Amino acid sequence: MAELALIIVSAVFVNNVIFSRFLGLCPYFGVSKKLDTAVGMSMAVIFVLTLAGTITYIVQTYVLEPLNIGYLQTIAFILVIASLVQLVEIVMKKVAPALYRALGIFLPLITTNCAILGISILAVQSKFNLLETIIFSFGSALGFGLALVIFASVREALETREIPKTFQGTPIAMIAAGILALAFMGFSGMVK
């Protein structure tokens, strides 16, 4: 139990997807202009990443390894993730239309979110078992959501401030992200 708690703390804070692993930066800068889209994107990522981590683990352990075709990992994983996102989109549209309306537009974007593929490969490389993989994927996605929501709030606040012309737009966002990353560095060394 303590081990699982450690995995989750490490994934959310210490090895945060954004600030320490540098994964999923495109949506991080792309959808962080407004707080509510950031929340929507975070929910979609938490949902898809947990599922994707679980399914790629199953594919790796029960298909790629027994057949000895580990070198197809990249191709297999990206195809699994792409079709999973499509499937989630179709099922969600039928089963939970309200949820689909809230998360729908973020789903296609998720296929190219490198956090999904990156975390799936990392889980395999870390030799986690099924339960640990699920916890690790969920925790990483939670860390992504946390970073995204904090950053979106910061950017909303920046909107109303007077910023020198040179810094306006992306440069100030980068620098704000740098300062946030500094804050997250405070967690480093807490868990190995």
Nearest residue (CB) to other proteins, 43 versus 121 = 121
Nearer to other proteins among residue 58 and residue 79 (C-beta): 79
Residues near other proteins (CB under 8 A) are 19-26, 29, 71-75, 78-79, 82, 111-114, 116-118, 121-122, 125, 166-167, 170-175, 177-179, 181-182, 184-185
Smaller CB separation from other proteins, 97 or 153: 153
Q: How far is the CB of 156 from other proteins (least distance, A)?
A: 19
Q: Closest CB to other proteins among 26 and 157?
A: 26
- The answer to whether the CB of 115 falls within 8 A of the CB of 24 is yes
Q: Which amino acid is at 85?
A: V
Rg (CA), the chain: 18
Contact 165, 135 (CB under 8 A): no
In angstroms, give the least distance from the CB of 26 to other proteins. 6
Q: Which is nearer to other proteins, 102 or 172 (CB)?
A: 172
Smallest separation (angstroms) from other proteins to the CB of 98? 28
Place of tokens 């966002």: 173
